Structure 1
Amino acid sequence: MAKTYVVLDLETTGLDYKSEQITEIGAIKIDEGFNEIDRFHTMVALEEGRELPEFITKLTGITAKDLEGAPTETEALEKLNEFIGNSIVVAQNAPFDLSFISRGGIEPERFYCTRAMARFVEPELSASLKDVANRNGITIEGHHRALNDVEATIEVFKRYLPHVREEYNEFENIVQDSADRPLKFKPKNAIVRTVHMVALDNADLIRLVRAFPEDHDMFTKLGSIIGRTMKGRD
């Protein structure tokens, strides 16, 4: 049977899945050629007595009025579960999104985290969706709205998947834990990749960069790091 992927993104009232809630769900189902099969979108009604934080409205543009009359979180997650079916789930920050959908009993057997993919391929660069999109020429129309972010995540997935396919388990279910970004939720079936940060001074970096030919990607990347650190001392 051919693989299908459901690339999803959530907007929420905050970061903690135990105390916050979902406000918007966007998901697009694609085939192995990254062609769209179907899409799912819903706003989610606020729980009784809950207010939408002002900073969330500023970040996403979503207002409390936008959520009036929308399905409850339980109803929305039931519909999302039906939409996912047997597909492999893909999310930019899988531990975050999977933490919230686990509230509806959704625990994908197979998933990809595009943030972990980007950090693996380019460990010295930012793995935020905005930064990854910018350096790959991917346009995000209306960042921090679910379907817009999903469309960008599909492009990130398309670009980075070939770089990680030869890794353990084809990089499926890989999530990253590091001192600078501790893993706050371990999804069911997750394989945790712990990243240990090592501090290098410029002399170390220069010796390292000289180990690569000038036409190698790492020569350019390490050279840019040295340039940034030297500039920071001016």
Structure 2
Amino acid sequence: MYDQHIILDFEMNPVLKKYAEVRKHLHREIIEIGATKVSPDGRVLDTFSCFVKPKFSSDVAEYITKLTGIKTTDIYNAASFSEAIQSFSKWIGHGKTRIYSWSNSDLIQLKSECAIKQIPFPTNMIRWMDFQIIYPRIMEIKQYKRLMSLHEAAEWYGISFEQKDAHRALYDAKITTELVIPVLTGEYVSQRECLKKVIHRDEREKQETRLSLSDLCSGFFSQFISNETLEPEYVR
């Protein structure tokens, strides 16, 4: 049993090419941290959000701004990576904690950035779950969707997903939280059964459609073969 669950997301910015040696081991830097804190019974207790000032770039890349809306002015006076991680770790606090993220890229990034910047990896962030891998297994949709985007998963579960707010750390963490909480409470079981019924219904309808089309086509070709003089009609 865990004392709390932390669902997080990072937004990142590319390391400039002039830092060639750094880029051999670190291609991006964290520029925003967003997270929710959830109790064992599935209640959201608190949220965390902060910008992080990168060390190996002075500006937010244009494509990152277009994707996330994060501008250079947002990170200009932000906390350093060391300060931000220390503040985040303090917010997490003590007690047995499990960390969740959508894909393992956040864990890989945190480990790499801590190593390059010589920052100790937080001891209260060692138990990590890649929920992007777990979710299709839990919902028994692995055969349909082995790897889903957060947007896809939200749509499958019936969670409203605002594209204009996507790719901001706290927003994505909140969406992931809406997928994690039903697993903690057990609510996902009824949702899973409902989802399976919808999938099977859609498959049945598609199969019936394919059979109908096949019957129509076979009828046409039978007629065509039996009467070689039949001229096919074209829609003009």
* TM-score of the pair, normalised by structure 2: 0.64
- CA deviation map 1:16-48 (0-9, x unaligned): 972210010011111012212222110011325
> In the alignment, what sits opposite 2:223?
none
Distance 1:45 1:25 in 2: 11
The farther-off stretch of 112-121 and 101-110 is 101-110
Q: Which runs of 5+ in 2 are unaligned?
A: 16-22, 190-194, 211-236
Q: Which runs of 5+ in 1 are unaligned?
A: 166-214
> In the alignment, what sits opposite 2:182?
159
The farther-off stretch of 68-77 and 82-91 is 82-91
> In the alignment, what sits opposite 1:32?
40
Sequence identity of aligned pairs in percent?
Answer: 25
What is the letter of the counterpart of residue 127 of structure 1? M
Distance 2:66 2:181 in 1: 30
Measured after TM superposition, the shift of residue 50 of structure 1 is: 3.9
Say whether the 8 Å CA contact 2:42–2:182 is kept in structure 1.
no
Q: 1:75-114 residue pairs with structure 2 within 5 A?
A: 75-85=83-93, 86=95, 87-93=97-103, 95-102=104-111, 103=114, 104=119, 105-106=121-122, 108-114=125-131
Of residues 18, 23, 26, the one that matches 1:18 is 26
Give the aligned CA root-mean-square deviation in angstroms: 3.2
* TM-score of the pair, normalised by structure 1: 0.65
- CA deviation map 1:40-71 (0-9, x unaligned): 11001132544322111111011111111000
Q: How many residues align?
A: 178
Distance 1:18 1:129 in 2: 24
Higher helix proportion: 2
Say whether the 8 Å CA contact 1:13–1:56 is kept in structure 2.
yes
> In the alignment, what sits opposite 2:167?
144
> In the alignment, what sits opposite 2:54?
46
State which structure, 1 or 2, has the greater radius of gyration over its C-alpha atoms.
2
Measured after TM superposition, the shift of residue 82 of structure 1 is: 1.7
Say whether the 8 Å CA contact 2:11–2:167 is kept in structure 1.
yes
What is the letter of the counterpart of residue 203 of structure 2? G
What is the letter of the counterpart of residue 141 of structure 2? E
List structure 1 segments (4+ residues) > 4 angstroms apart after TM superposition: 14-17, 160-165, 215-219
Give the secondary-structure state (helix, strand or coil) at the position aligned to 1:44: strand
Say whether the 8 Å CA contact 1:77–1:101 is kept in structure 2.
no
* Higher relative contact order, chain-length normalized (CA < 8 Å, sep 6+): 2
In structure 2, the CA distance between the partners of 1:64 and 1:3, relative to structure 1 (3 Å rule), is same
